[in-house]
């Protein structure tokens, strides 16, 4: 065997990999250094911004999980997901104000019950909407090239946006402001308000239920099996179509919960906000490793923090004008340097 | 796997014509005679449908039914002349006759547009400046078709190339950089006007080259990704570049005004020759609109020519091979990265020229013109028309850009008037485009005028594509 002339391509490949690793590490180090300088300069601002980022990160996590669930099972970027979220917010705002008659500044048990009721309505609405979208727009295209459902997803996204436009008009709609703004604690100039804590208090149980559903139940097992190999799980007697519908239902439910939280926390919503937020959440899902549930949460919190730091810190922060660019730059960098994300495993399929 | 032939709603008609052909034509009739006969029957059916079935509806729908009928008859005659004789069977010049006639019709459009009848429901024919707009978008759609239709790479950020083309012209043919005073072959601009003023003709070429270079720069790191990951990365670039344009009036707090921010760059110079300027035109014959229109037709012809020649080239065949099966193409020795990058560069090139020309026509460029919507708008043209088929793409682009400009407003006005509604139809433009996207994908994924190979891919399906490839570079 003549082997001595062969090993060159391998070393060449190694070189490239280490170069990208160095580049990525440099970026991360620069980012950390920037954060550290900011922390030293204005520690109380830094911590407050950190808490804001954690809150938005929670909302992103709920949306990102929807992307990651659907991607895991169908390998489809459900562009309409962000708009399902937005409709969830609008439905929540309407239900809260019209059905339950909650007005801004209300408080007491009745408000909490109303919020809980709205949560159920919004989750059910978005879940059914998402599952119907799958049934109408993606299921007929199972065997088609991958571009086909992606294109219908974009189409559905535009349709949903226009439904919201027709329903609520082109301006921001105001949502009742019922979450208390009083402080949970105030230590050394760092304030933490109840409305932020409540977002986390609602998000965490929803996430726990989701984990239980996917990890412990029969249906969750079917979901995981279908995600791994659709044909094999069909042979094992799993109803693949029903499982996929169920996944869309769950994903939509999460988007509904996120929509309610967003509406309550930000207190205004507009028909085109879903798409932008959806893209941010998708970035979060990719950052964490698409198809990976803890990854989506981790990625969402990181993206939430990055956004908050970018908009809230004073020393050399690009500012909210650049949030979109920043998030997309992160997305591109991850896809180019580490397409499997932070927690994903590198496989030829990238799943 | 056998090609599953889908039955179309036109199949009974086709069978009926077959039967008619067997009954009327003698056994000895040659293929040319048979073709002519079939087409004549089709033209007769079109005539019947137009003037017997649709006429009552259209008479109700237009204000001047008599005028409509006469003009529609002449349109039908034009259709017969173009379609029925087997022009393509004439040796040597045959394949060029029909495009030449279509070109002639388009080129003389400004002369007869004012005499055209109202189309029922859609209203008046598009005026010449809408024609320019349509031609610009036809050019962009053909460019995107190279990326999406030929090479099968979904590009959701095509608007970035449009933006780069527009801003290239805006920088080098306006008073944006008032600190300097550069004039080079410019027309219609006083020598003392500050800023950079370079001939638009040179800038069109420059915009194409710059955009192609940016396309290569974007492509090199990202084209390693496959399918939907590539789509999302291009979407990212398509969002970042306009944001730079939006925030570029004070770039990173340095006070450097690159793009004039949301106010955009106005005015931009017009093309021209010597003292002959497109903005003012010359006399009643060479009006500004007509000059822009004719030049746009020439640019579109150039694009069509390049696109068709590219498809037949070694590179074009490599694109199609990659689209059908990347792994197999790679195994056959097609260099994936280089081929894809060329597809990107070629698509970007035409997008850049179109953007540059449009900026000069509009004499302005605003960051608000470059939203994600526009990327989807152009993608919609390619998909509706038929991915990979240049004539389909032209049809889709012409129709959708017409809808965008005039059609939706006219149709909406008609609907509101006749059904006593009050809907602002143009407001829901992108919802309508979304419906078009979904319906096309569900019921006719190959588009209105399909590309034969592409159609087979949609019907039989293609090899399942892995998401990204870490092995090749």
Delimit the domains of chain B by residue range.
8-100, 126-460
Selected residue with higher pLDDT from A17 and B214 = B214
Instruction: Please report the pLDDT score of residue A347 as a whole number.
Output: 46
Sequence-ordered alpha helix ranges (H) in B274-389: 288-312, 314-324, 326-331, 336-362, 372-385
Query: How confident is the model over B289-303, as a mean pLDDT?
Result: 91
Sign of the dihedral defined by the CA atoms of residues B200, B202, B207, B210, in that order? negative
CATH architecture of the domain with range B126-460: Orthogonal Bundle (1.10)
Residue B470 has pLDDT above 60, yes or no: no
Buried/exposed code over B419-428 (b: 16+ C-beta within 10 A; e: otherwise): eeeeeebbeb
Selected residue with higher pLDDT from B413 and B205 = B205
For the segment B265-291, what is each residue's pLDDT rounded down to a tens digit? Answer: 888 888 888 777 777 777 778 888 888
> What part of A 223-242 touches B (C-beta under 8 Å)?
none
Nearest to B294 by CA among B102, B141, B162, B110: B110
B427/A170 Cβ within 8 A: yes
Q: In the structure, what pLDDT confidence band is assigned to residue B461 with cuts at 50, 70 and 90?
A: low
Closest CB to A328: pick one of B152, B240, B376.
B240
Given a contact cutoff of 8 angstroms between Cβ atoms, the answer to whether B34 and B21 are in contact is yes
For the segment A249-262, what is each residue's pLDDT rounded down to a tens digit? Answer: 999 999 999 999 99
Q: Does A147 touch chain B (CB under 8 A)?
A: yes
Q: Which chain A positions have a beta carbon within 8 Å of B148's beta carbon?
A: 147
Given a contact cutoff of 8 angstroms between Cβ atoms, the answer to whether A83 and A160 are in contact is yes
Q: Does B81 touch chain A (CB under 8 A)?
A: no
Q: Does B371 touch chain A (CB under 8 A)?
A: no
Q: Which residue of B has its CA nearest to A162?
A: B431
Q: Does B428 touch chain A (CB under 8 A)?
A: yes
Q: What is the C-alpha separation between B348 and B335, in angstroms, rounded?
A: 20
Q: Which residue of A has its CA nearest to B218?
A: A332
Instruction: Please report the pLDDT score of residue B369 as a whole number.
Output: 85
Q: Does B3 touch chain A (CB under 8 A)?
A: no
Taking the CA of residue B246 and the nearest CA in chain A, the distance in Å comes to: 9
A151/B239 Cβ within 8 A: no
Residue at A292 is within a domain: no
Q: In the structure, what pLDDT confidence band is assigned to residue A90 with cuts at 50, 70 and 90?
A: very high
Q: Which chain A positions have a beta carbon within 8 Å of B453's beta carbon?
A: none
CB pairs under 8 A between A and B: 150
B458/A279 Cβ within 8 A: no
List the domain range (segments joined by +) for residue A166.
57-271
Closest CB to B222: pick one of A152, A329, A332.
A332
Closest CB to B240: pick one of A137, A170, A329.
A329
Nearest to B227 by CA among A141, A151, A130, A228: A151
Taking the CA of residue A115 and the nearest CA in chain B, the distance in Å comes to: 31
A324/B240 Cβ within 8 A: yes
Given a contact cutoff of 8 angstroms between Cβ atoms, the answer to whether A244 and A226 are in contact is yes
Residue B462 has pLDDT above 70, yes or no: no
B435/A155 Cβ within 8 A: yes
Domain count, chain A: 1
Nearest to A153 by CA among A221, A71, A272: A71
Q: Which residue of A has its CA nearest to B247?
A: A321
* Highest-confidence segment of A43-57, B61-75, B240-254, B411-425: A43-57
For the segment B312-337, what is each residue's pLDDT rounded down to a tens digit? Answer: 999 999 999 988 888 899 899 999 88
Residues in chain A: 351
Lowest mean pLDDT among A100-104, A342-346, B267-271, B282-286: A342-346
B437/A145 Cβ within 8 A: no
A336/B224 Cβ within 8 A: yes
Cα R_g (chain A), whole angstroms: 22
Instruction: Please report the pLDDT score of residue B8 as a whole number.
Output: 63
B235/A154 Cβ within 8 A: no
Q: Which chain B positions have a beta carbon within 8 Å of A156's beta carbon?
A: 434, 438
Residue at A104 is within a domain: yes
Q: Does B237 touch chain A (CB under 8 A)?
A: yes
B156/A154 Cβ within 8 A: yes
Residue at A6 is within a domain: no
Q: What is the C-alpha separation between B389 and B443, in angstroms, rounded?
A: 18
Query: Could you give the C-alpha distances from A239 to A226, A236, B56, in angstroms and in order?
Result: 9, 9, 52
Query: Could you give the C-alpha distances from B272 to B129, B186, B279, B301, in angstroms and in order?
Result: 17, 8, 8, 20
Q: In the structure, what pLDDT confidence band is assigned to residue B68 with cuts at 50, 70 and 90?
A: low
3-state secondary structure A49-111: HHHHHHHHHHHHHHHHHHHHHHHHHHCCCCCCHHHHHHHHHHHHHHHHHHHCCCCCCCCCHHH
Q: Record the tokens describing residue B121, joined without a space.
A: 């429901």
Best mutation site among B154, B240, B427 for testing chain A: the one with the most A CBs within 10 Å?
A: B240
A145/B461 Cβ within 8 A: yes
Closest CB to A335: pick one of B148, B229, B462.
B229
Mean pLDDT of chain B: 82
Percent above pLDDT 70 for chain B: 90
Q: What is the C-alpha separation between A260 and A59, in angstroms, rounded?
A: 10
> What part of B 335-364 touches A (C-beta under 8 Å)?
none
Closest CB to B239: pick one of A149, A324, A339.
A324
A155/B436 Cβ within 8 A: yes
Taking the CA of residue B163 and the nearest CA in chain A, the distance in Å comes to: 16
Q: Tokens 């005539």 belong to which residue?
A: B47
For the segment B354-384, what is each residue's pLDDT rounded down to a tens digit? Answer: 999 999 998 889 988 888 889 989 998 998 8
3-state secondary structure B163-182: HHHHHHHHHHEECCCCCCEE
A144/B434 Cβ within 8 A: no
For the segment B105-149, what is each residue's pLDDT rounded down to a tens digit? Answer: 888 888 887 777 777 777 778 888 899 999 999 999 999 999 998
Instruction: Please report the pLDDT score of residue A257 as a whole number.
Output: 94
- For chain A, how long is the longest CA-to-CA vector? 83
Q: Does A333 touch chain B (CB under 8 A)?
A: no
Taking the CA of residue B20 and the nearest CA in chain A, the distance in Å comes to: 37
Q: Does B438 touch chain A (CB under 8 A)?
A: yes
Q: Record the tokens describing residue B331, joined without a space.
A: 């195994």
Q: Does A324 touch chain B (CB under 8 A)?
A: yes
Closest CB to B228: pick one of A77, A157, A275.
A77
Q: Which residue of A has its CA nearest to B466?
A: A349
Taking the CA of residue A318 and the nearest CA in chain B, the distance in Å comes to: 7
Closest CB to B431: pick one of A152, A159, A346.
A159
Q: Which chain B positions have a beta carbon within 8 Å of A331's beta carbon?
A: 232-233, 236
Query: How confident is the model over A261-265, as a mean pLDDT?
Result: 92
Query: How confident is the model over A108-129, as a mean pLDDT?
Result: 91
Q: What is the C-alpha separation between A169 and B413, in angstroms, rounded?
A: 20
Residue at A174 is within a domain: yes
Taking the CA of residue A62 and the nearest CA in chain B, the distance in Å comes to: 20
Query: Could you give the C-alpha distances from B432 to A147, B273, B375, B436, in angstroms and in order?
Result: 20, 42, 15, 6
Given a contact cutoff of 8 angstroms between Cβ atoms, the answer to whether B270 and B204 are in contact is no
Selected residue with higher pLDDT from A208 and B91 = A208
Residue at A67 is within a domain: yes
Closest CB to A351: pick one of B383, B432, B467.
B467
Best mutation site among B431, B461, B466, B469 for testing chain A: the one with the most A CBs within 10 Å?
A: B431
Taking the CA of residue A202 and the nearest CA in chain B, the distance in Å comes to: 31
Residue at A10 is within a domain: no
Residues forming beta bridges with residue B88, ordered by sequence position: none
């Amino acid at each position: 065997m003549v082997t001595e002339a062969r090993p060159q391509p391998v070393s060449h490949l190694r070189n490239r990999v280490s170069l990208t690793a160095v580049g990525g590490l440099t970026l991360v180090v620069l980012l950390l250094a920037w954060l550290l300088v900011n922390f030293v300069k204005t520690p109380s601002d830094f911590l407050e911004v950190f808490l804001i980022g954690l809150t938005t990160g929670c909302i992103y996590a709920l949306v990102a999980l929807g992307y990651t669930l659907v991607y895991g099972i169908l390998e489809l970027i459900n562009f309409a997901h962000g708009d399902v979220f937005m409709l969830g917010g609008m439905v929540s705002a309407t239900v809260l104000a019209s059905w339950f008659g909650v007005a801004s500044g209300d408080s007491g048990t009745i408000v909490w019950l109303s919020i809980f009721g709205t949560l159920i309505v919004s989750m059910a609405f978005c879940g059914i909407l998402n599952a119907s979208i799958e049934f109408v727009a993606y299921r007929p295209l199972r065997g088609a090239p991958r571009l086909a459902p992606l294109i219908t997803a974009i189409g559905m996204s535009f349709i949903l946006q226009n439904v919201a436009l027709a329903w609520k008009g082109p301006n921001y709609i105001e949502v009742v402001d019922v979450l208390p703004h009083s402080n949970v604690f105030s230590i050394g100039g760092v304030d933490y308000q109840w409305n932020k804590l409540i977002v986390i208090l609602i998000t965490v149980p929803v996430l726990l239920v989701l984990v239980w559903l996917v990890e412990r139940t029969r249906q969750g097992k079917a979901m995981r099996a279908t995600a791994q190999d659709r044909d094999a799980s069909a042979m094992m007697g799993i109803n693949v179509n029903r499982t996929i519908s169920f996944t869309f239902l769950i994903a939509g439910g999460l988007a509904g919960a996120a929509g309610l939280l967003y509406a309550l926390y930000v207190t205004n919503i507009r028909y085109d906000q879903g798409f932008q937020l959806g893209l941010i959440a998708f970035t979060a899902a990719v950052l964490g490793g698409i198809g990976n549930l803890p990854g989506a949460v981790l990625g969402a919190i990181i993206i939430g923090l990055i956004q908050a730091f970018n908009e809230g810190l004073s020393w050399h922060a690009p500012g909210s004008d650049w949030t979109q660019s920043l998030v997309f730059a992160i997305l591109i960098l991850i896809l180019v340097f580490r397409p499997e994300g932070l927690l994903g495993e590198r496989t030829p399929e990238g799943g | 796997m056998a090609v599953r032939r889908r039955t179309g709603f036109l199949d009974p008609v086709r069978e009926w014509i077959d039967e008619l052909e067997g009954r009327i034509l003698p056994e000895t009739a040659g293929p040319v005679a048979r073709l002519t006969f079939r087409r004549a029957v089709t033209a007769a059916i079109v005539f019947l449908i137009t003037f017997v079935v649709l006429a009552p509806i259209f008479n109700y729908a237009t204000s001047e039914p008599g005028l409509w009928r006469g003009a529609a008859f002449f349109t039908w005659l034009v259709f017969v002349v173009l379609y029925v004789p087997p022009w393509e069977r004439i040796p040597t010049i045959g394949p060029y006759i029909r495009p030449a006639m279509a070109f002639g019709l388009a080129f003389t459009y400004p002369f007869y547009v004012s005499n055209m009848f109202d189309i029922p429901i859609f209203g008046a024919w598009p005026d010449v400046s809408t024609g320019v707009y349509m031609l610009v978008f036809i050019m962009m759609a053909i460019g995107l078709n190279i990326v999406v239709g030929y090479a099968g790479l979904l590009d959701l950020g095509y608007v970035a190339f449009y933006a780069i083309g527009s801003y290239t012209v805006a920088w080098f043919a306006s008073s944006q950089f008032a600190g300097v005073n550069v004039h080079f072959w410019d027309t219609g601009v006083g020598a003392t006007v500050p800023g950079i003023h370079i001939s638009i003709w040179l800038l069109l070429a420059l915009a194409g080259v710059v955009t192609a270079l940016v396309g290569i720069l974007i492509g090199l790191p990202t084209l390693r990704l496959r399918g939907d990951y590539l789509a999302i990365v291009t979407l990212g670039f398509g969002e970042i570049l306009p944001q730079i344009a939006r925030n570029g009036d004070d770039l990173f707090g340095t006070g450097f005004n690159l793009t004039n921010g949301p106010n955009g760059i106005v005015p931009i110079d017009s093309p021209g020759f010597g003292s002959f300027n497109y903005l003012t035109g010359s006399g009643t014959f060479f009006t500004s609109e007509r000059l822009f229109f004719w030049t746009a037709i020439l640019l579109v012809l150039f694009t069509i020519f390049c696109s068709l020649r590219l498809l037949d080239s070694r590179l074009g065949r490599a694109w199609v091979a990659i689209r059908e099966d990347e792994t197999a193409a790679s195994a056959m020795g097609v260099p994936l990265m280089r081929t894809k990058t060329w597809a990107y560069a070629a698509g970007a090139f035409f997008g850049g020229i179109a953007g540059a020309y449009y900026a000069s026509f509009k004499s302005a460029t605003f960051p608000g013109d470059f939203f994600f919507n526009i990327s989807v708008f152009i993608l919609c043209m390619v998909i509706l028309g038929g991915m990979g088929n240049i004539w389909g793409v032209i049809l889709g682009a012409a129709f959708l850009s017409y809808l965008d400009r005039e059609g939706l407003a006219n149709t909406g006005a008609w609907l509101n008037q006749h059904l006593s509604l009050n809907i602002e139809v143009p407001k829901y433009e992108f919802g309508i485009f979304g419906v078009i996207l979904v319906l096309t994908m569900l019921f006719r994924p190959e588009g209105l005028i399909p590309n034969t190979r592409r159609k087979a891919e949609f019907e039989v399906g293609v090899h399942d594509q892995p998401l990204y490839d870490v092995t090749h570079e």
